[in-house]
Protein backbone atom coordinates (compact mmCIF):
# COMPACT_ATOMS: atom_id res chain seq x y z
CA UNK A 1 0.00 0.00 0.00
CA UNK A 2 1.02 3.59 -0.19
CA UNK A 3 -0.67 6.50 1.48
CA UNK A 4 -0.57 10.11 0.38
CA UNK A 5 -1.81 12.85 2.64
CA UNK A 6 -2.99 16.11 1.11
CA UNK A 7 0.23 17.77 2.39
CA UNK A 8 2.34 15.22 0.60
CA UNK A 9 0.26 15.72 -2.54
CA UNK A 10 0.92 19.47 -2.47
CA UNK A 11 4.65 19.05 -1.82
CA UNK A 12 5.04 16.61 -4.66
CA UNK A 13 3.10 18.71 -7.10
CA UNK A 14 5.34 21.66 -6.52
CA UNK A 15 8.66 19.86 -6.75
CA UNK A 16 8.33 17.39 -9.57
CA UNK A 17 8.35 18.64 -13.10
CA UNK A 18 6.23 16.45 -15.28
CA UNK A 19 8.16 14.87 -18.09
CA UNK A 20 5.66 12.22 -18.95
CA UNK A 21 4.78 11.52 -22.52
CA UNK A 22 1.23 10.24 -22.69
CA UNK A 23 0.30 8.03 -25.59
CA UNK A 24 -3.29 7.43 -26.53
CA UNK A 25 -4.25 3.82 -26.61
CA UNK A 26 -7.80 3.19 -27.62
CA UNK A 27 -8.29 -0.56 -27.41
CA UNK A 28 -11.37 -1.63 -25.48
CA UNK A 29 -11.83 -4.20 -22.76
CA UNK A 30 -12.67 -7.67 -24.02
CA UNK A 31 -13.82 -10.74 -22.15
CA UNK A 32 -11.41 -13.62 -22.53
CA UNK A 33 -13.57 -16.65 -23.21
CA UNK A 34 -11.11 -19.44 -22.80
CA UNK A 35 -8.45 -20.08 -20.26
CA UNK A 36 -4.98 -20.49 -21.75
CA UNK A 37 -2.46 -22.47 -19.76
CA UNK A 38 -0.05 -20.28 -17.84
CA UNK A 39 3.56 -21.25 -17.42
CA UNK A 40 3.45 -21.42 -13.66
CA UNK A 41 4.82 -24.52 -12.04
CA UNK A 42 3.06 -24.95 -8.75
CA UNK A 43 3.17 -27.49 -6.01
CA UNK A 44 0.43 -30.13 -6.24
CA UNK A 45 -0.22 -29.55 -2.54
CA UNK A 46 -1.09 -25.91 -3.04
CA UNK A 47 -4.37 -24.85 -1.39
CA UNK A 48 -7.29 -24.46 -3.79
CA UNK A 49 -10.35 -22.31 -3.27
CA UNK A 50 -13.55 -22.89 -5.25
CA UNK A 51 -15.82 -19.97 -4.38
CA UNK A 52 -19.34 -19.69 -5.75
CA UNK A 53 -21.17 -16.48 -4.83
CA UNK A 54 -24.19 -14.37 -5.56
CA UNK A 55 -23.68 -10.60 -5.27
CA UNK A 56 -26.77 -8.54 -4.47
CA UNK A 57 -25.93 -5.04 -5.79
CA UNK A 58 -28.81 -3.34 -3.96
CA UNK A 59 -28.18 -4.67 -0.45
CA UNK A 60 -24.47 -5.13 -1.20
CA UNK A 61 -24.53 -8.62 0.22
CA UNK A 62 -22.50 -11.58 -0.99
CA UNK A 63 -23.84 -15.06 -0.23
CA UNK A 64 -22.10 -18.23 -1.20
CA UNK A 65 -20.00 -21.25 -0.62
CA UNK A 66 -16.28 -21.80 -0.45
CA UNK A 67 -14.73 -25.21 -1.08
CA UNK A 68 -11.20 -25.32 0.32
CA UNK A 69 -8.77 -28.13 -0.40
CA UNK A 70 -5.90 -27.90 2.06
CA UNK A 71 -2.84 -30.08 2.64
CA UNK A 72 -1.00 -30.09 5.95
CA UNK A 73 2.50 -29.24 4.72
CA UNK A 74 3.97 -28.92 8.21
CA UNK A 75 5.48 -31.52 10.53
CA UNK A 76 2.77 -30.90 13.11
CA UNK A 77 -0.53 -32.73 13.57
CA UNK A 78 -3.48 -30.33 13.32
CA UNK A 79 -6.65 -30.74 15.36
CA UNK A 80 -8.07 -27.50 14.01
CA UNK A 81 -7.70 -25.23 10.97
CA UNK A 82 -7.78 -21.44 11.20
CA UNK A 83 -9.09 -18.84 8.74
CA UNK A 84 -9.03 -15.04 8.77
CA UNK A 85 -12.43 -13.34 8.68
CA UNK A 86 -11.23 -9.82 7.84
CA UNK A 87 -14.72 -8.34 7.10
CA UNK A 88 -15.60 -8.70 10.79
CA UNK A 89 -13.15 -5.90 11.63
CA UNK A 90 -15.77 -3.63 10.02
CA UNK A 91 -18.48 -4.57 12.53
CA UNK A 92 -17.51 -2.00 15.17
CA UNK A 93 -15.97 1.45 14.99
CA UNK A 94 -13.24 0.48 17.45
CA UNK A 95 -11.97 -2.42 15.30
CA UNK A 96 -12.19 -0.90 11.78
CA UNK A 97 -8.73 -0.76 10.15
CA UNK A 98 -8.57 3.05 10.07
CA UNK A 99 -6.97 5.55 12.39
CA UNK A 100 -9.38 7.76 14.38
CA UNK A 101 -8.53 10.88 12.36
CA UNK A 102 -9.34 9.03 9.11
CA UNK A 103 -12.91 8.03 10.00
CA UNK A 104 -14.57 10.94 8.17
CA UNK A 105 -12.75 10.08 4.97
CA UNK A 106 -13.25 6.34 5.46
CA UNK A 107 -17.01 6.74 6.01
CA UNK A 108 -18.03 10.04 4.30
CA UNK A 109 -21.71 9.07 4.63
CA UNK A 110 -21.38 7.80 8.19
CA UNK A 111 -20.48 4.48 9.74
CA UNK A 112 -22.44 1.36 8.89
CA UNK A 113 -21.48 -2.19 9.67
CA UNK A 114 -19.74 -4.65 7.41
CA UNK A 115 -19.18 -8.27 8.38
CA UNK A 116 -18.94 -11.93 7.41
CA UNK A 117 -21.29 -14.50 8.86
CA UNK A 118 -20.22 -18.15 8.84
CA UNK A 119 -23.39 -20.16 8.33
CA UNK A 120 -22.03 -23.67 8.10
CA UNK A 121 -18.78 -25.63 7.87
CA UNK A 122 -18.84 -29.19 6.50
CA UNK A 123 -16.50 -32.01 5.63
CA UNK A 124 -17.92 -34.74 3.40
CA UNK A 125 -21.45 -33.36 3.96
CA UNK A 126 -21.08 -33.61 7.73
CA UNK A 127 -21.10 -30.46 9.85
CA UNK A 128 -17.93 -29.56 11.71
CA UNK A 129 -17.84 -27.72 14.98
CA UNK A 130 -16.43 -24.21 14.53
CA UNK A 131 -15.97 -21.06 16.53
CA UNK A 132 -15.51 -17.39 15.57
CA UNK A 133 -12.88 -15.82 17.81
CA UNK A 134 -10.06 -13.27 18.15
CA UNK A 135 -10.07 -9.45 18.28
CA UNK A 136 -13.13 -8.25 16.36
CA UNK A 137 -14.17 -11.86 15.62
CA UNK A 138 -11.63 -11.94 12.82
CA UNK A 139 -10.63 -15.61 13.18
CA UNK A 140 -12.57 -18.78 12.34
CA UNK A 141 -11.40 -21.92 14.13
CA UNK A 142 -12.66 -25.15 12.59
CA UNK A 143 -12.31 -28.11 14.92
CA UNK A 144 -11.50 -31.26 12.98
CA UNK A 145 -13.19 -34.49 14.09
CA UNK A 146 -10.10 -36.45 13.09
CA UNK A 147 -6.64 -34.95 13.30
CA UNK A 148 -4.93 -33.87 10.09
CA UNK A 149 -1.52 -35.51 9.95
CA UNK A 150 1.51 -34.07 8.09
CA UNK A 151 1.01 -34.62 4.35
CA UNK A 152 -2.72 -35.34 4.73
CA UNK A 153 -5.36 -33.46 2.72
CA UNK A 154 -8.74 -32.15 3.79
CA UNK A 155 -11.66 -30.64 1.90
CA UNK A 156 -13.99 -28.24 3.65
CA UNK A 157 -17.19 -26.49 2.56
CA UNK A 158 -17.84 -23.14 4.19
CA UNK A 159 -21.17 -21.40 3.70
CA UNK A 160 -20.98 -17.68 4.31
CA UNK A 161 -22.60 -14.31 3.86
CA UNK A 162 -20.76 -10.99 3.58
CA UNK A 163 -22.17 -7.50 4.11
CA UNK A 164 -20.14 -4.79 2.38
CA UNK A 165 -19.98 -1.50 4.33
CA UNK A 166 -20.05 2.07 2.92
CA UNK A 167 -16.32 2.43 3.48
CA UNK A 168 -13.79 4.01 1.11
CA UNK A 169 -11.08 1.49 2.08
CA UNK A 170 -10.01 -1.90 0.78
CA UNK A 171 -13.37 -3.44 1.62
CA UNK A 172 -16.43 -1.28 1.02
CA UNK A 173 -18.38 0.73 -1.50
CA UNK A 174 -18.49 4.39 -2.49
CA UNK A 175 -20.05 6.43 -5.26
CA UNK A 176 -18.00 4.88 -8.04
CA UNK A 177 -16.88 1.40 -7.06
CA UNK A 178 -17.49 -1.62 -4.87
CA UNK A 179 -14.13 -2.73 -3.44
CA UNK A 180 -14.22 -6.44 -2.68
CA UNK A 181 -10.94 -7.32 -1.00
CA UNK A 182 -10.03 -9.45 2.06
CA UNK A 183 -13.61 -10.64 1.84
CA UNK A 184 -13.71 -14.46 2.09
CA UNK A 185 -12.41 -16.93 4.71
CA UNK A 186 -8.70 -17.30 3.90
CA UNK A 187 -6.54 -19.98 5.54
CA UNK A 188 -4.07 -18.59 8.08
CA UNK A 189 -0.37 -19.29 7.58
CA UNK A 190 1.22 -21.98 9.73
CA UNK A 191 4.98 -21.37 9.98
CA UNK A 192 7.74 -22.01 12.50
CA UNK A 193 5.98 -19.65 14.93
CA UNK A 194 2.77 -21.71 14.64
CA UNK A 195 -0.56 -20.33 13.38
CA UNK A 196 -0.47 -16.64 12.45
CA UNK A 197 -3.73 -15.20 13.76
CA UNK A 198 -3.13 -11.45 13.81
CA UNK A 199 -6.20 -9.20 13.73
CA UNK A 200 -6.85 -6.56 11.03
CA UNK A 201 -4.52 -3.78 12.29
CA UNK A 202 -5.17 -0.20 11.20
CA UNK A 203 -1.52 0.49 10.30
CA UNK A 204 0.11 -1.05 7.24
CA UNK A 205 -1.18 -3.99 5.21
CA UNK A 206 -1.63 -6.55 7.99
CA UNK A 207 -1.76 -9.63 5.77
CA UNK A 208 0.22 -12.83 5.50
CA UNK A 209 -0.84 -15.67 3.23
CA UNK A 210 0.38 -18.58 1.16
CA UNK A 211 -0.11 -18.76 -2.59
CA UNK A 212 -3.15 -20.73 -3.71
CA UNK A 213 -5.22 -21.53 -6.80
CA UNK A 214 -8.64 -19.94 -7.16
CA UNK A 215 -11.80 -20.46 -9.14
CA UNK A 216 -14.36 -17.80 -8.28
CA UNK A 217 -17.84 -17.76 -9.79
CA UNK A 218 -19.80 -14.54 -9.32
CA UNK A 219 -23.48 -14.13 -10.23
CA UNK A 220 -25.09 -10.73 -10.20
CA UNK A 221 -28.13 -9.00 -11.65
CA UNK A 222 -26.30 -5.79 -12.59
CA UNK A 223 -24.26 -4.97 -15.69
CA UNK A 224 -21.06 -4.49 -13.74
CA UNK A 225 -17.57 -4.30 -15.10
CA UNK A 226 -15.31 -6.33 -12.82
CA UNK A 227 -11.57 -5.80 -12.42
CA UNK A 228 -10.14 -8.83 -10.64
CA UNK A 229 -7.26 -11.09 -9.74
CA UNK A 230 -6.67 -13.83 -12.35
CA UNK A 231 -8.49 -14.20 -15.64
CA UNK A 232 -12.10 -14.25 -16.73
CA UNK A 233 -12.64 -17.62 -18.39
CA UNK A 234 -16.38 -17.32 -18.94
CA UNK A 235 -19.14 -14.71 -18.86
CA UNK A 236 -22.62 -16.08 -19.40
CA UNK A 237 -26.30 -15.48 -18.65
CA UNK A 238 -27.74 -17.95 -16.15
CA UNK A 239 -31.32 -17.64 -14.82
CA UNK A 240 -31.52 -13.98 -15.80
CA UNK A 241 -28.26 -13.12 -14.04
CA UNK A 242 -24.78 -12.55 -15.35
CA UNK A 243 -22.29 -15.14 -14.20
CA UNK A 244 -18.56 -14.52 -14.27
CA UNK A 245 -16.06 -17.37 -13.91
CA UNK A 246 -12.65 -16.16 -12.79
CA UNK A 247 -9.53 -18.26 -12.38
CA UNK A 248 -6.13 -17.53 -10.85
CA UNK A 249 -3.14 -19.73 -10.19
CA UNK A 250 -0.40 -19.30 -7.60
CA UNK A 251 -1.66 -16.05 -6.15
CA UNK A 252 -1.60 -14.89 -2.54
CA UNK A 253 -5.13 -13.49 -2.40
CA UNK A 254 -8.16 -12.87 -4.60
CA UNK A 255 -9.66 -9.39 -4.93
CA UNK A 256 -12.29 -7.80 -7.17
CA UNK A 257 -13.57 -4.35 -7.82
CA UNK A 258 -16.88 -3.65 -9.53
CA UNK A 259 -18.37 -0.58 -11.14
CA UNK A 260 -21.31 0.15 -13.41
CA UNK A 261 -19.51 3.15 -14.86
CA UNK A 262 -16.02 1.91 -15.61
CA UNK A 263 -14.41 2.76 -18.90
CA UNK A 264 -11.48 0.56 -19.78
CA UNK A 265 -8.57 0.27 -22.16
CA UNK A 266 -5.85 -2.30 -22.51
CA UNK A 267 -2.40 -2.86 -23.89
CA UNK A 268 0.12 -5.68 -23.95
CA UNK A 269 3.74 -6.08 -22.95
CA UNK A 270 5.76 -9.29 -23.37
CA UNK A 271 2.61 -11.45 -23.45
CA UNK A 272 0.99 -9.76 -20.42
CA UNK A 273 -2.34 -8.06 -21.04
CA UNK A 274 -2.66 -4.86 -19.04
CA UNK A 275 -6.02 -3.25 -18.29
CA UNK A 276 -6.78 0.19 -16.97
CA UNK A 277 -10.24 0.85 -15.46
CA UNK A 278 -11.08 4.51 -14.95
CA UNK A 279 -13.61 7.32 -15.17
CA UNK A 280 -11.52 9.79 -17.17
CA UNK A 281 -9.74 8.99 -20.47
CA UNK A 282 -6.54 11.03 -20.10
CA UNK A 283 -5.52 9.66 -16.74
CA UNK A 284 -6.79 6.15 -17.41
CA UNK A 285 -4.30 6.16 -20.24
CA UNK A 286 -1.54 7.49 -17.99
CA UNK A 287 -2.19 4.73 -15.42
CA UNK A 288 -2.03 2.16 -18.23
CA UNK A 289 1.28 3.41 -19.61
CA UNK A 290 2.88 3.57 -16.13
CA UNK A 291 1.75 0.00 -15.41
CA UNK A 292 3.06 -1.20 -18.76
CA UNK A 293 6.47 0.45 -18.40
CA UNK A 294 6.93 -0.64 -14.80
CA UNK A 295 6.01 -4.27 -15.53
CA UNK A 296 8.61 -4.26 -18.29
CA UNK A 297 11.28 -2.64 -16.10
CA UNK A 298 10.73 -4.91 -13.08
CA UNK A 299 10.52 -8.03 -15.29
CA UNK A 300 13.95 -7.16 -16.66
CA UNK A 301 15.44 -6.27 -13.28
CA UNK A 302 14.12 -9.13 -11.14
CA UNK A 303 12.46 -11.85 -13.21
CA UNK A 304 9.46 -12.04 -15.49
CA UNK A 305 5.96 -11.14 -14.31
CA UNK A 306 4.55 -14.67 -14.58
CA UNK A 307 0.81 -14.01 -14.93
CA UNK A 308 -1.15 -13.30 -18.09
CA UNK A 309 -3.00 -10.23 -16.86
CA UNK A 310 -2.65 -7.14 -14.71
CA UNK A 311 -5.24 -4.46 -13.92
CA UNK A 312 -5.03 -0.93 -12.53
CA UNK A 313 -8.41 0.13 -11.18
CA UNK A 314 -9.48 3.63 -10.14
CA UNK A 315 -11.53 3.24 -6.99
CA UNK A 316 -13.19 4.89 -4.04
CA UNK A 317 -10.06 4.36 -1.97
CA UNK A 318 -9.10 7.46 0.02
CA UNK A 319 -5.76 6.10 1.21
CA UNK A 320 -3.80 6.20 -2.08
CA UNK A 321 -3.02 2.81 -3.57
CA UNK A 322 -3.33 -0.83 -2.55
CA UNK A 323 -1.86 -3.97 -4.05
CA UNK A 324 -3.55 -7.31 -4.66
CA UNK A 325 -2.34 -10.07 -6.96
CA UNK A 326 -2.80 -8.98 -10.59
CA UNK A 327 -4.87 -6.01 -9.44
CA UNK A 328 -4.21 -2.66 -7.79
CA UNK A 329 -6.67 -0.13 -6.35
CA UNK A 330 -5.84 3.53 -6.96
CA UNK A 331 -7.69 6.47 -5.38
CA UNK A 332 -9.88 7.76 -8.24
CA UNK A 333 -9.52 11.36 -7.02
CA UNK A 334 -5.84 11.25 -8.10
CA UNK A 335 -6.86 10.92 -11.79
CA UNK A 336 -6.44 14.68 -12.27
CA UNK A 337 -3.95 17.02 -13.90
CA UNK A 338 -2.62 18.33 -10.57
CA UNK A 339 -1.99 14.84 -9.23
CA UNK A 340 -0.60 13.12 -12.30
CA UNK A 341 2.94 12.76 -10.88
CA UNK A 342 1.52 11.22 -7.74
CA UNK A 343 -0.67 8.94 -9.81
CA UNK A 344 2.43 7.70 -11.62
CA UNK A 345 4.34 7.15 -8.36
CA UNK A 346 1.48 5.24 -6.75
CA UNK A 347 0.76 3.04 -9.77
CA UNK A 348 4.45 2.11 -10.03
CA UNK A 349 4.71 1.43 -6.29
CA UNK A 350 1.72 -0.94 -6.43
CA UNK A 351 3.09 -2.64 -9.56
CA UNK A 352 6.41 -3.24 -7.72
CA UNK A 353 4.41 -4.98 -4.98
CA UNK A 354 3.54 -7.66 -7.54
CA UNK A 355 7.16 -8.81 -7.08
CA UNK A 356 7.52 -7.95 -3.36
CA UNK A 357 4.42 -9.19 -1.51
CA UNK A 358 2.76 -10.88 -4.49
CA UNK A 359 5.21 -13.33 -6.03
CA UNK A 360 7.77 -13.27 -3.20
CA UNK A 361 5.61 -13.11 -0.10
CA UNK A 362 6.45 -12.14 3.46
CA UNK A 363 4.81 -11.69 6.84
CA UNK A 364 3.49 -8.15 6.40
CA UNK A 365 2.44 -7.99 10.04
CA UNK A 366 5.78 -8.81 11.66
CA UNK A 367 8.27 -7.74 8.95
CA UNK A 368 6.46 -5.12 6.88
CA UNK A 369 9.72 -3.35 5.96
CA UNK A 370 10.74 -6.27 3.74
CA UNK A 371 8.15 -5.77 1.01
CA UNK A 372 7.67 -2.01 1.53
CA UNK A 373 11.41 -1.19 1.55
CA UNK A 374 12.03 -3.20 -1.61
CA UNK A 375 8.90 -1.77 -3.22
CA UNK A 376 9.78 1.86 -2.49
CA UNK A 377 13.30 1.33 -3.79
CA UNK A 378 11.95 -0.46 -6.88
CA UNK A 379 9.80 2.59 -7.56
CA UNK A 380 12.98 4.69 -7.61
CA UNK A 381 14.55 2.20 -10.02
CA UNK A 382 11.62 2.75 -12.38
CA UNK A 383 12.46 6.47 -12.49
CA UNK A 384 16.13 5.67 -13.04
CA UNK A 385 15.44 3.26 -15.89
CA UNK A 386 12.72 5.32 -17.54
CA UNK A 387 13.98 8.88 -17.10
CA UNK A 388 17.60 8.64 -15.94
CA UNK A 389 19.58 9.01 -12.71
CA UNK A 390 18.94 12.71 -12.30
CA UNK A 391 15.20 12.18 -12.15
CA UNK A 392 15.64 9.27 -9.77
CA UNK A 393 17.76 11.41 -7.44
CA UNK A 394 15.17 14.16 -7.53
CA UNK A 395 12.35 11.77 -6.61
CA UNK A 396 14.53 10.18 -3.92
CA UNK A 397 15.34 13.54 -2.41
CA UNK A 398 11.77 14.80 -2.37
CA UNK A 399 9.81 11.69 -1.54
CA UNK A 400 12.18 9.63 0.58
CA UNK A 401 15.07 11.61 2.10
CA UNK A 402 13.28 14.89 2.88
CA UNK A 403 10.23 13.40 4.62
CA UNK A 404 12.47 10.96 6.48
CA UNK A 405 14.77 13.71 7.78
CA UNK A 406 11.74 15.82 8.72
CA UNK A 407 10.49 12.88 10.78
CA UNK A 408 13.91 12.33 12.31
CA UNK A 409 14.30 15.95 13.37
CA UNK A 410 10.88 15.86 15.03
CA UNK A 411 11.67 12.61 16.83
CA UNK A 412 15.39 12.82 17.70
CA UNK A 413 15.08 10.30 20.54
CA UNK A 414 13.30 7.63 18.56
CA UNK A 415 15.32 4.45 18.27
CA UNK A 416 14.30 4.27 14.62
CA UNK A 417 13.65 0.55 14.57
CA UNK A 418 12.65 -0.39 11.03
CA UNK A 419 12.48 -4.10 11.76
CA UNK A 420 9.42 -4.46 13.94
CA UNK A 421 5.77 -5.53 13.85
CA UNK A 422 3.12 -3.11 12.62
CA UNK A 423 1.53 -2.97 16.07
CA UNK A 424 4.78 -1.55 17.52
CA UNK A 425 4.59 1.64 15.45
CA UNK A 426 3.05 4.71 17.07
CA UNK A 427 1.03 5.77 14.05
CA UNK A 428 0.92 5.78 10.24
CA UNK A 429 3.38 8.70 10.12
CA UNK A 430 6.09 6.84 12.02
CA UNK A 431 5.34 3.70 10.02
CA UNK A 432 5.78 5.53 6.72
CA UNK A 433 9.02 7.26 7.79
CA UNK A 434 10.67 4.07 9.02
CA UNK A 435 9.26 1.23 6.94
CA UNK A 436 8.98 3.02 3.59
CA UNK A 437 11.56 5.79 3.70
CA UNK A 438 14.30 4.35 5.87
CA UNK A 439 13.63 0.91 4.39
CA UNK A 440 14.25 2.30 0.88
CA UNK A 441 17.30 4.26 2.12
CA UNK A 442 18.74 1.01 3.40
CA UNK A 443 18.27 -0.75 0.04
CA UNK A 444 19.91 2.26 -1.64
CA UNK A 445 22.86 1.93 0.75
CA UNK A 446 23.03 -1.80 0.12
CA UNK A 447 23.30 -1.19 -3.63
CA UNK A 448 26.11 1.30 -3.03
CA UNK A 449 27.98 -1.15 -0.81
CA UNK A 450 27.58 -4.16 -3.13
CA UNK A 451 27.99 -2.35 -6.44
CA UNK A 452 25.44 -2.52 -9.25
CA UNK A 453 26.44 -5.88 -10.66
CA UNK A 454 26.21 -7.80 -7.36
CA UNK A 455 23.19 -5.86 -6.13
CA UNK A 456 21.06 -6.70 -9.18
CA UNK A 457 22.28 -10.28 -9.05
CA UNK A 458 21.12 -10.42 -5.41
CA UNK A 459 17.66 -9.20 -6.39
CA UNK A 460 17.36 -11.77 -9.18
CA UNK A 461 18.50 -14.64 -6.95
CA UNK A 462 16.19 -13.55 -4.10
CA UNK A 463 13.24 -13.39 -6.49
CA UNK A 464 14.00 -16.73 -8.11
CA UNK A 465 14.65 -18.55 -4.83
CA UNK A 466 11.53 -17.33 -3.02
CA UNK A 467 8.94 -16.88 -5.79
CA UNK A 468 5.54 -18.32 -4.71
CA UNK A 469 6.97 -18.73 -1.19
CA UNK A 470 7.24 -16.56 1.90
CA UNK A 471 10.66 -15.12 2.74
CA UNK A 472 11.84 -13.29 5.83
CA UNK A 473 14.61 -10.79 6.63
CA UNK A 474 17.01 -13.61 7.47
CA UNK A 475 16.35 -15.18 4.03
CA UNK A 476 17.01 -11.86 2.31
CA UNK A 477 20.19 -11.35 4.33
CA UNK A 478 21.25 -14.91 3.47
CA UNK A 479 20.93 -14.24 -0.29
CA UNK A 480 22.76 -10.89 0.04
CA UNK A 481 25.67 -12.53 1.87
CA UNK A 482 25.86 -15.59 -0.36
CA UNK A 483 25.77 -13.72 -3.67
CA UNK A 484 28.16 -10.97 -2.52
CA UNK A 485 30.36 -13.36 -0.51
CA UNK A 486 30.64 -10.96 2.41
CA UNK A 487 29.17 -10.53 5.87
CA UNK A 488 26.32 -8.01 5.94
CA UNK A 489 24.68 -8.81 9.27
CA UNK A 490 26.11 -5.67 10.88
CA UNK A 491 24.62 -3.52 8.12
CA UNK A 492 21.21 -5.08 8.68
CA UNK A 493 21.52 -4.61 12.44
CA UNK A 494 22.63 -1.01 12.11
CA UNK A 495 20.04 0.12 9.56
CA UNK A 496 17.05 -1.95 10.58
CA UNK A 497 17.69 -2.71 14.26
CA UNK A 498 17.40 -6.25 13.00
CA UNK A 499 17.87 -9.08 15.45
CA UNK A 500 17.74 -12.70 14.41
CA UNK A 501 14.87 -14.46 16.20
ZN1 LIG B 1 3.33 -0.46 -0.43
| pLDDT digits (tens), the chain, 501 positions | 887 754 455 444 333 322 222 222 222 222 222 233 445 566 789 999 999 999 999 999 999 999 999 999 999 999 999 999 999 999 999 999 999 999 999 999 999 999 999 999 999 999 999 999 999 999 999 999 999 999 999 999 999 999 999 999 999 999 999 999 999 999 999 999 999 999 999 999 999 999 999 999 999 998 899 999 999 999 999 999 999 999 999 999 999 999 999 999 999 999 999 999 999 878 999 999 999 999 999 999 999 999 999 999 999 999 999 999 999 999 999 999 999 999 999 999 999 999 999 999 999 999 999 999 999 999 999 999 999 999 999 999 999 999 999 999 998 777 668 999 999 998 999 999 999 999 999 999 999 999 999 999 999 999 999 999 999 999 999 999 999 999 999 999 999 999 987
- 2 CA from centroid of ligand 1 (Å): 5
- 479: in domain: yes
- 377: in domain: yes
Are 220 and 315 members of one domain? Answer: no
CA distance 411 to 271: 48
Are 71 and 116 members of one domain? Answer: yes
- 75 CA from centroid of ligand 1 (Å): 33
- 346 CA from centroid of ligand 1 (Å): 9
Q: Residue 216, Cα to own-chain centre: how many angstroms?
A: 18
Are 246 and 309 members of one domain? Answer: no
* CATH of residue 157: 2.60.40.1730
- Indicate the SS3 state at residue 266: strand
CA distance 86 to 179: 14
- 150 CA from centroid of ligand 1 (Å): 35
Domain that residue 192 falls in: 47-259
- 14 CA from centroid of ligand 1 (Å): 23
CA distance 118 to 128: 12
Tell me which residue of 142, 175, 180 sits closest to 163, measured CA to CA: 180
- Indicate the SS3 state at residue 2: strand
Residue 223 pLDDT: 85
φ/ψ of 4, rounded to 5, equals -130, 115
- 2: in domain: no
Residue 78 pLDDT: 98
Residue 169 pLDDT: 97
| Domain end (from 259, 277, 294) | 259
Are 84 and 157 members of one domain? Answer: yes
Residue 29 pLDDT: 24
- 20: in domain: no
Q: Which residues pair with 48 in a beta bridge?
A: 69, 213
- 320 CA from centroid of ligand 1 (Å): 10
- 260 CA from centroid of ligand 1 (Å): 28
Residue 39 pLDDT: 53
- 460: in domain: yes
Are 214 and 274 members of one domain? Answer: no
Residue 222 pLDDT: 81
Residue 5 pLDDT: 57
CA distance 205 to 365: 7
- 137: in domain: yes
- 399 CA from centroid of ligand 1 (Å): 14
Residue 183 pLDDT: 98
- 479 CA from centroid of ligand 1 (Å): 22
- 241 CA from centroid of ligand 1 (Å): 37
Are 81 and 217 members of one domain? Answer: yes
- 242 CA from centroid of ligand 1 (Å): 34
- 356 CA from centroid of ligand 1 (Å): 9
| Domain end (from 352, 382, 397) | 352
CA distance 423 to 426: 8
Residue 23 pLDDT: 26
Are 94 and 172 members of one domain? Answer: yes
- 234 CA from centroid of ligand 1 (Å): 32
| Domain end (from 352, 385, 420) | 352
- Indicate the SS3 state at residue 206: coil
Number of structural domains the chain divides into: 3
Are 282 and 346 members of one domain? Answer: yes
- 143 CA from centroid of ligand 1 (Å): 35
Are 134 and 77 members of one domain? Answer: yes
Torsion sign over Cα 188, 193, 199, 202: negative
Are 119 and 245 members of one domain? Answer: yes
**Segment holding 276, helix H or strand E:** strand 272-278
Are 248 and 150 members of one domain? Answer: yes
Residue 20 pLDDT: 26
Residue 6, number of CB atoms within 10 A of its CB: 7
**Treating both helix axes as pointing N-terminal to C-terminal, what angle do 389-396 and 368-387 enclose, rounded to 10 degrees?**
140
- 286 CA from centroid of ligand 1 (Å): 20
Are 324 and 451 members of one domain? Answer: no
- 390 CA from centroid of ligand 1 (Å): 24
CA distance 156 to 45: 15
- 230 CA from centroid of ligand 1 (Å): 21
- 357 CA from centroid of ligand 1 (Å): 9
Amino acid sequence: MIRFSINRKVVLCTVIVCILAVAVIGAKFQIIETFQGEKIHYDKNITTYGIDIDFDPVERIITGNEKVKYTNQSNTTFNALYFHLYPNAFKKQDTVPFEKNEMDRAYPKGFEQGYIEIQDVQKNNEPLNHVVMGIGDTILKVNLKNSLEPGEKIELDIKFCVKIPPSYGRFGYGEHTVNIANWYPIVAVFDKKGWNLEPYHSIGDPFYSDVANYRVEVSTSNEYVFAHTGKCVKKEKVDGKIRWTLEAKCVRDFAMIASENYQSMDDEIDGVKIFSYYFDDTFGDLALSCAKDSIKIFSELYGKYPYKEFSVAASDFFIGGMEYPNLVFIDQSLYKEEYKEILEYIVVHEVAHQWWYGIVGNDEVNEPWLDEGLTEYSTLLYYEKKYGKEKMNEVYKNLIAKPYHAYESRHPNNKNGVYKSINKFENAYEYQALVYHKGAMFIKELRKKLGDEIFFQVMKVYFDKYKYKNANTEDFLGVCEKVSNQSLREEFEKWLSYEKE
